[in-house]
């Protein structure tokens, strides 16, 4: 009788370990998938009354390239960088052909820092917010001043 109980206990223990592992894998995959899915539904960023058509930079490769190599962007166009984690994200102007405004946005979708009119000739200098951000928006130089953007302002992501 004692052998059967030990076998059952061992089987039960293995079942618990396998179940925890399966649940961990399921929820880890689900969180990553939800992040990707949510970025696929963002086509515009709204700050104040201005609506900006954005491209999403989600992968490290897209984030490293950013707007580099392009000749220009439109007045109400930009690139939204979506990071997995809030942190201090650094930007440079490598291979840029025009100046931009860089806007750091936290998880609550509030502007935490603005760097205006960043020139291509600043490379290899890097720029970052002193506060953590989850998103960074690059727009045409002068956009921040023209629209009176300030730290603390709320940003909306729209389909």
Judge if 29 and 91 occupy the same domain: no
Judge if 33 and 47 occupy the same domain: no
Judge if 115 and 83 occupy the same domain: yes
Instruction: Give pLDDT, residue 41.
Output: 82
Judge if 103 and 47 occupy the same domain: yes
Judge if 56 and 117 occupy the same domain: yes
Q: Is 73 helix (H, G, I), strand (E, B) or coil?
A: coil
Judge if 71 and 109 occupy the same domain: yes
Instruction: Give pLDDT, residue 49.
Output: 86
Q: Which of 158, 156, 92, 89 is nearest to 123 (CA)?
A: 92
Cα separation, 67 vs 70, whole angstroms: 6
Judge if 52 and 28 occupy the same domain: no
Judge if 26 and 1 occupy the same domain: yes
Domain range for 82 is: 43-158
Per-10-residue mean pLDDT, the chain, length 159: 60 56 44 46 91 95 94 95 96 97 98 98 97 98 96 96
Instruction: Give pLDDT, residue 125.
Output: 97
Judge if 85 and 71 occupy the same domain: yes
Q: Which of 114, 57, 65 is nearest to 83 (CA)?
A: 57
Cα separation, 92 vs 127, whole angstroms: 6
Locate 16 and state its tokens. 């618990």
Instruction: Give pLDDT, residue 110.
Output: 98
For residue 149, what is the domain's CATH number? 2.60.120.1140
Provide the number of structural domains found in the chain.
2
Instruction: Give pLDDT, residue 108.
Output: 97
CA distances from 91 to 6, 21, 81, 134 (A): 59, 38, 11, 13
Instruction: Give pLDDT, residue 34.
Output: 40
Q: Is 82 helix (H, G, I), strand (E, B) or coil?
A: strand
Instruction: Give pLDDT, residue 48.
Output: 83
């Amino acid at each position: 009788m004692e052998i059967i109980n030990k076998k059952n206990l061992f089987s039960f223990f293995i079942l618990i370990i396998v179940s925890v592992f399966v649940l961990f894998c399921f929820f880890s995959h689900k969180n990553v998938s939800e992040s990707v899915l949510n970025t696929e539904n963002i086509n515009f960023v709204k700050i104040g009354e201005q609506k900006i058509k954005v491209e999403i930079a989600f992968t490290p490769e897209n984030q490293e390239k950013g707007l580099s190599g392009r000749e220009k962007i439109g007045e109400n166009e930009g690139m939204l960088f979506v990071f997995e984690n809030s942190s201090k994200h650094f930007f440079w102007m490598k291979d840029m052909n025009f100046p931009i405004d860089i806007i750091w946005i936290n998880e609550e979708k509030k502007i935490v820092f603005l760097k205006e009119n960043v020139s291509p000739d600043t490379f290899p200098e890097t720029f970052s917010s002193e506060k953590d951000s989850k998103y960074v928006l690059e727009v045409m130089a002068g956009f921040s001043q023209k629209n009176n953007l300030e730290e603390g302002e709320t940003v909306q992501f729209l389909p």
